[in-house]
Amino acid sequence: MGRYVARRLLLTIPVLIGASFLIFAMVYALPGDPIRALAGDRPLPASVQAALRAEYNLDDPLLVQYGKYVLGLVQGDFGTDFSGRPVLQTISERLPVTATLTGVAIVFEIIIGIAAGVLAGLRRGSFFDNLVLVTTTLLVSIPVLVLGFVSQYVLGVRLGVVPVAGINEGLYSYLLPGLILAAISLAYVARLTRTSLADSLRADYVRTARAKGLDRRTVVVRHTLRNSLIPVVTFIGADIGSLLGGAIITESVFNIPGLGRAVFESIQRQEGSVVVGVITLLVFFFIFFNLVVDVLYAVLDPRIRYE
């Protein structure tokens, strides 16, 4: 197990190098002139443009730019954005915000999603099962933007039960955005749990367990649920990765200063250093949580062994 994990972690290194280079190349390939766009309609003397280009290595060829970037990286220097702010500072300020938001969303996913899925799966065809079916379909089909703005207006502006935007009120501020961010995944988790549980309940070993006289609770919790959670855990693991970087819409609607918005704004401004730094970090998280999921498999299903 230990060797397996170590091997997997070592393999992330070439992945990160490859991913960062690809992203770097894509930002490099973006058309347009970021330095010219900085000044907008106002003139920017050629001498000042030259100084800015030199500062951000923009006049070097791609490989040289990337080389300089990696060289800085190994020395712990993530570079700076166009306003001279160290990228590391941006990440360290924004990562906790994004992590909190993702955390709240995942908690909603797990609690509401799995609970609804289990209840629906146990009582297939019941009113509750149908209710879950309709609600999840609805959640998946409404765009997050609409869901976000409507709930913000109704719950925040009209009723005033949750903060409208921002993160000034601690964890409380993350409640509604977390729920909105979780909405779609939550629906998938509920569906996945329901189907998977329903399948397992029909399996032979469950019939055997029942036949030898185990009570319903033990059958469901120990024999069925544990098995049927494997696909759900896979989904949630992958979801943590994508929620970390993909919360741009939610972050914008609720004005939460997270990583998603930083990447979005940086791509608009073609700030390679920020884009590459943040996305490489997100790729790392993605790989990491996948590894966690794989390790969890072994915990959930004793038949799975890694060596």
What is the footprint of another protein within residues 115-134 (CB under 8 A)? Answer: none
Catalogue the long-range contacts made by 123-131 (C-beta closer than 8 Å, 24 or more residues apart): 124/198, 129/194
Smaller CB separation from another protein, 1 or 39: 39
| Residues of this chain, 257-276, that bind another protein according to CB under 8 A | 257-258, 261-265, 267-270, 275
Instruction: Pick one of 181, 247, 254, 277: the residue that binds another protein (CB under 8 A).
Output: 254
Q: What gap in Å lies between CA 71 and CA 68, rounded to an integer?
A: 5
Other CB atoms within 10 Å distance of the CB of residue 275: 24
| Residues of this chain, 3-42, that bind another protein according to CB under 8 A | 8, 11, 15, 18-19, 22-23, 26-27, 30-34, 36-42
Smaller CB separation from another protein, 229 or 283: 283
Number of residues that bind another protein (CB under 8 A): 84
By CB under 8 A, residue 231 contacts another protein: no
By CB under 8 A, residue 2 contacts another protein: no
Planar angle of CA 82, 73, 266, nearest 5 degrees: 30
Smaller CB separation from another protein, 141 or 168: 168
Q: What is the DSSP annotation of 147-183?
A: HHHHHIIIIIIIS-SS-SSSSTTGGGGGHHHHHHHHH
Q: State the minimum distance, in angstroms, from the CB of residue 254 to another protein.
A: 7
Q: What gap in Å lies between CA 12 and CA 283, rounded to an integer?
A: 9
Instruction: Pick one of 5, 242, 298, 300: the residue that binds another protein (CB under 8 A).
Output: 242
By CB under 8 A, residue 302 contacts another protein: no
| Residues of this chain, 149-178, that bind another protein according to CB under 8 A | 149, 152-153, 156-157, 160, 163-168
Q: State the minimum distance, in angstroms, from the CB of residue 153 to another protein.
A: 6
Q: Are 107 and 120 in contact (CB under 8 A)?
A: no
3-state SS, residue 18: helix
Q: State the minimum distance, in angstroms, from the CB of residue 101 to another protein.
A: 13
By CB under 8 A, residue 301 contacts another protein: no
Q: Which tokens is 211 given?
A: 């036949």
Angle between helices 127-141 and 115-122 in degrees, nearest 10: 140
Smaller CB separation from another protein, 135 or 252: 252
By CB under 8 A, residue 305 contacts another protein: no
By CB under 8 A, residue 233 contacts another protein: no
Phi, psi for residue 274 in degrees, rounded to 5:
-70, -50
Q: CA-CA distances (angstroms) from residue 303 to 3, 198, 222, 297, 298?
A: 19, 21, 15, 9, 7
What string marks each residue from 178 to 197 as x (binds another protein by CB under 8 A) or -? --------------------
Closest CA to 237 of 161, 294, 284: 294
Q: How far is CA 182 from the centre of its chain?
A: 10
By CB under 8 A, residue 72 contacts another protein: no
| Residues of this chain, 199-228, that bind another protein according to CB under 8 A | none
Instruction: Pick one of 117, 121, 237, 245: the residue that binds another protein (CB under 8 A).
Output: 245
Instruction: Pick one of 50, 62, 71, 146: the residue that binds another protein (CB under 8 A).
Output: 50
Q: State the minimum distance, in angstroms, from the CB of residue 228 to another protein.
A: 21
Q: CA-CA distances (angstroms) from residue 124 to 79, 116, 128, 195?
A: 55, 12, 8, 10
Q: State the minimum distance, in angstroms, from the CB of residue 84 to another protein.
A: 5
